[in-house]
Structure 1
Amino acid sequence: MTTFVDRVELHVAAGNGGHGCASVHREKFKPLGGPDGGNGGRGGDVILVVDQDVTTLLDYHHHPHRKATNGKPGAGDNRAGKDGEDLVLPVPDGTVVMDKQGNVLADLVGQGTTYVAAEGGRGGLGNAALASARRKAPGFALLGVPGATEDVVLELKTVADVALVGYPSAGKSSLISVLSAAKPKIADYPFTTLVPNLGVVTAGSTVYTIADVPGLIPGASQGKGLGLEFLRHVERCSVLVHVLDTATLESDRDPVSDLDVIEEELRLYGGGLEKRPRIVVLNKVDIPDGQDLADMIRPELEERGYKVFEVSAVARTGLKELSYALAEIVGRARARRPKQEATRIVIRPKAVDDTGFTIAYDEAEDVYRVRGEKPERWVRQTDFNNDEAVGYLADRLNRLGVEDALLKAGARAGDGVAIGSEENAVVFDWEPTMQAGAEMLGRRGEDHRMDALRPAVQRRREKEARRGDSAQREYDEFRPF
């Protein structure tokens, strides 16, 4: 049964925005009290947040599909719909978020660091919010925008100051167990360690973390053994510790050859590991043959420039010197790190000639394709079963300059125009003389429902005028001379 997962593909879907409401206030003796439809609620976001209590991506391995809640639709009497709740997904410290092509989207390091993996759709406006001087009583509302759907890859890279590397059964797990309070599984056969172990070491006033990276064998950087799965866990470390087994029972191996093999795998893997400081730990010197072999190879290792420590995890010898030496290297590495600067707000104003959309002729589909955040969102918000809503969309596109741009691009009456991507586009035959759905709504900005009210309004005004004339005549007749 899988207990540790450090790479998963996650399918996230944000909540959809709620639809706006088209409603007219109705009250006794007020047949047309004005529009009072409320706005739809916003869809919930999907947010990744670093949680120190989470150490694996196992939960997302079993349940890779996650969705936030939708926003509620608006209602009459100016009641706005409730916003959808954000879906917060805890991830381990050191999680890298990538797209399916391997491009890094976010590197989540530090408790509470967040990344919005999918944004919720905005709610549609109700007809109360759409009312204007030209359109006093809109008979439509905007639809909610669908939430974003994303496929992201989560990859865990252990956040540790020190990484222990070496052949299986070199004693890395035993060493981390005596240097820290970690309790890894320990046995005398290869690949006992199947997951990276992490421990905390205190040396004087310095506290640092140490990780045991399992599974490095020849060819690990090309996928052999378990090494490729765990090499990523040493990328963030400040110092590499080669743990060499001086009491190996295999006749075709020796500590120096083991060191050369691991160094070659680190070089092939890349990631800047070849530039990290290194020290060598000769382990198992409590065994007589181990001490003899350590005495033989130590001069050669020191000639190569390595700082060498002889230790025994079983007898617990040489551990204090090793822990303080590591603390010194970690302290120097931390001092070299650039200090975190205050957050700078960068303002990038749009260019004066940025229209917010582009128009290109698609020869394969024989349409003029309009792309842009605003026109594509407006199309998604339009109820095409409502003629007045279609006219409002035409109004918005015309004000944005889409009609003029189509004329400049060479579009003629009857040409196909597609707004949106190839997979999800609205296609229509374009008429350059169309005035915001004039064939359906009349002159732009007019509301046909007012036509039925104009005779009644005119009769009321004439009645008031007659009443005023009658009152004036009575006053003239009875006023004193």
Structure 2
Amino acid sequence: MTTFVDRVELHVAAGNGGHGCASVHREKFKPLGGPDGGNGGRGGDVILVVDQDVTTLLDYHHHPHRKATNGQPGAGDNREGKNGKDLVLPVPDGTVVLDGNGEVLADLIGQGTTFVAGQGGRGGLGNAALASARRKAPGFALLGEPGEARDIVLELKTVADVALVGYPSAGKSSLISVLSAAKPKIADYPFTTLVPNLGVVTAGSTVYTIADVPGLIPGASQGKGLGLEFLRHVERCEVLVHILDTAALESDRDPVSDLDLIEEELAQYGGLENRPRVVVLNKVDVPDGKDLADMIRPDLEERGYRVFEVSAVAHLGLKELSYALADIVATARAAKPVQEATRIVIRPQAVDDAGFTVTEEGEHFYRVRGEKPERWVRQTDFNNDEAVGYLADRLSRLGVEDALLKAGARAMDGVAIGPEDNAVVFDWEPTMAAGAEMLGRRGEDHRLEAPRPAAQRRRDRDAERDEASEEYERFRPF
């Protein structure tokens, strides 16, 4: 059964914003109470937080779909909807967040580091917030925005200072068990270690972490054996330690060839060329192992490696190795630049940036893209004519109609606002007037009615005048 997972695909969905409320205050002896619809609540965010107590992504492997709660809709009497609760997901230290294309979104290192994986939707404004001097009693409210939903990939890269690499059964687990308090599984068969093991080592005033990475074999960088699954765990280490078995039972293997094959796999994986290397000749407590170590040590030192002869079983050479690794780690830490405080970079909008674009796509068809137009469309209730008229006013003030005219659009041309997979498409008709004076009853907008011929408008106006005269004659005082 799987007990350690270091790569998962996670489907996150933030909460939707609550809809605004369209309400009019009603109270005895106050017939004109005015709009009192409250705003909708904000949808909850999906937040990844580094937690030192979490060491695996197993929970997300079993439950990959995560969703935050929605915001509550507003209500009358200026009551705002309750905000949705944020969904906080703990992840191990060293988790890398990628999008579906493999692009890194965040590298989470350090206790408490956070990343908003899904942004909650904004709550819609109620009609009380939409009231103005021209539109005193709006008969509509704005809809809440949908929360952000996307697929992300979480990859765990172990945060350790020293990585022990080598063939299976070379003695890596035994070595980490005696250098630290870690208790990995130890046996005399290949692939004993199925998960990376971490241990903390104290050498003088230096404290560092050491990782036992599962065994590598030739072809690991192409997915053979277990190597490809765990090679990412050596990326953050300051020093690589080759554990060579000087008492291997296989007649077709020797420590130098093992070193060359592991180095070839690391080179094919890439990104580890500049890491310092240390070679540990293990199992020198065995007579044949000691003789082989004395034989190959000059060759390894001639290549430029620092070589240590140790025995994890007999506890030989461990102190020298521990302090040598501490010196390398301390030097690497001192060479790192001091991290500066996080700076906020302000990028003001360009003077000539209209906030949207209009592009012609085919004959008599145009597409409008931009944060504001697309957000306004998502907030509009298209079942309410007054809300649609309010959208037309906003787009006109933003300059969308002028841009369409400049792009060559004509009446009844097709216009889409938004991306191809989620756009609102309509037949465009230039607005000749905008504002509250065009409104009729609440929820209606005369601009959205079919235009009447001039003769019909005159007949209707005369009929309304005659009807008003008859009413006056009926009720006028004698």
| TM-score, L = length of structure 2 | 0.91
* 2:70 corresponds to 1:78: no
Return the alpha-carbon distance in structure 2 between the equivalents of residues 22 and 363 of structure 1: 40
Moved more, 12-21 or 211-220: 211-220
SS in 2 for 1:275: coil
Deviation at 1:218, TM superposition (A): 0.4
Deviation at 1:99, TM superposition (A): 0.7
Return the alpha-carbon distance in structure 2 between the equivalents of residues 418 and 398 of structure 1: 15
SS in 2 for 1:40: coil
Moved more, 342-351 or 97-106: 342-351
SS in 1 for 2:273: helix
* 2:368 corresponds to 1:370: yes
* 2:258 corresponds to 1:258: yes
Q: Which amino acid aligns with 2:386?
A: E
Q: Tell me what 1:463 maps to.
A: none
> Can you list the C-alpha shifts for 1:197-217, whole angstroms capped at 9, x where unaligned?
000000011000000111310
Q: Tell me what 2:440 maps to.
A: 448
Q: Which amino acid aligns with 2:331?
A: R
Q: Tell me what 1:331 maps to.
A: 330
User: Do the aligned partners of 2:135 and 2:436 also contact (CA within 8 Å) in 1?
Assistant: no
User: Do the aligned partners of 2:72 and 2:83 also contact (CA within 8 Å) in 1?
Assistant: yes
* 2:151 corresponds to 1:167: no
User: Do the aligned partners of 1:435 and 1:444 also contact (CA within 8 Å) in 2?
Assistant: no
User: Do the aligned partners of 1:285 and 1:311 also contact (CA within 8 Å) in 2?
Assistant: yes
Return the alpha-carbon distance in structure 1 between the equivalents of residues 156 and 346 of structure 2: 33
Q: Tell me what 2:404 maps to.
A: 406
User: Do the aligned partners of 2:15 and 2:45 also contact (CA within 8 Å) in 1?
Assistant: yes
Deviation at 1:448, TM superposition (A): 2.5
Return the alpha-carbon distance in structure 1 between the equivalents of residues 261 and 432 of structure 2: 74
Return the alpha-carbon distance in structure 2 between the equivalents of residues 31 and 327 of structure 1: 81
SS in 1 for 2:307: strand
SS in 2 for 1:427: strand
Q: Tell me what 1:20 maps to.
A: 20
Return the alpha-carbon distance in structure 2 between the equivalents of residues 445 and 158 of structure 1: 65
> Can you list the C-alpha shifts for 1:341-384, whole angstroms capped at 9, x where unaligned?
122221110101111111111228x5201111111110011011
Return the alpha-carbon distance in structure 2 between the equivalents of residues 51 and 114 of structure 1: 10
Q: 1:125 to 1:389 in 2, by over 3 A?
A: same
SS in 1 for 2:389: helix
Return the alpha-carbon distance in structure 2 between the equivalents of residues 99 and 25 of structure 1: 48
Deviation at 1:444, TM superposition (A): 4.5
Return the alpha-carbon distance in structure 1 between the equivalents of residues 81 and 55 of structure 2: 38
Deviation at 1:280, TM superposition (A): 0.4
Q: Tell me what 1:317 maps to.
A: 316
Return the alpha-carbon distance in structure 2 between the equivalents of residues 119 and 154 of structure 1: 18
Q: Tell me what 1:341 maps to.
A: 340
> Can you list the C-alpha shifts for 1:261-298, whole angstroms capped at 9, x where unaligned?
01111111002x11100110000001000001001000
Return the alpha-carbon distance in structure 1 between the equivalents of residues 378 and 242 of structure 2: 58
SS in 1 for 2:288: helix
Return the alpha-carbon distance in structure 2 between the equivalents of residues 82 and 136 of structure 1: 26
Q: Which amino acid aligns with 1:414?
A: M
* 2:367 corresponds to 1:393: no
Q: Give the number of equivalent residue pairs.
A: 442
- Any stretches of 5+ residues in structure 2 without a counterpart? 443-478
Deviation at 1:434, TM superposition (A): 4.5
- Any stretches of 5+ residues in structure 1 without a counterpart? 437-442, 451-481
> Can you list the C-alpha shifts for 1:303-322, whole angstroms capped at 9, x where unaligned?
11111000000001100000
Return the alpha-carbon distance in structure 2 between the equivalents of residues 182 and 12 of structure 1: 35
Deviation at 1:337, TM superposition (A): 0.6
Structure 1 stretches of at least 4 aligned residues deviating more than 2 Å after TM superposition:
433-436, 443-450
Matches within 5 A, 1:15-54: 15-54=15-54
User: Do the aligned partners of 2:412 and 2:429 also contact (CA within 8 Å) in 1?
Assistant: yes
> Can you list the C-alpha shifts for 1:46-81, whole angstroms capped at 9, x where unaligned?
000000000000000000000000000000010000
Matches within 5 A, 1:143-154: 143-154=143-154
Return the alpha-carbon distance in structure 2 between the equivalents of residues 146 and 191 of structure 1: 48
Deviation at 1:447, TM superposition (A): 4.0
SS in 1 for 2:327: helix
Deviation at 1:445, TM superposition (A): 4.6
Return the alpha-carbon distance in structure 1 between the equivalents of residues 368 and 315 of structure 2: 71
Matches within 5 A, 1:25-424: 25-271=25-271, 273-363=272-362, 367-424=365-422
Q: Identify which of 420, 429, 432 aligns with 1:431.
A: 429
Return the alpha-carbon distance in structure 2 between the equivalents of residues 435 and 163 of structure 1: 71
Q: 1:444 to 1:29 in 2, by over 3 A?
A: closer
SS in 2 for 1:390: helix
Deviation at 1:190, TM superposition (A): 0.4
Return the alpha-carbon distance in structure 1 between the equivalents of residues 185 and 228 of structure 2: 21
Deviation at 1:143, TM superposition (A): 0.3
Return the alpha-carbon distance in structure 1 between the equivalents of residues 257 and 275 of structure 2: 20
Q: 1:206 to 1:317 in 2, by over 3 A?
A: same
Q: Which amino acid aligns with 2:330?
A: G
Q: Which amino acid aligns with 1:32?
A: L
Deviation at 1:435, TM superposition (A): 3.2
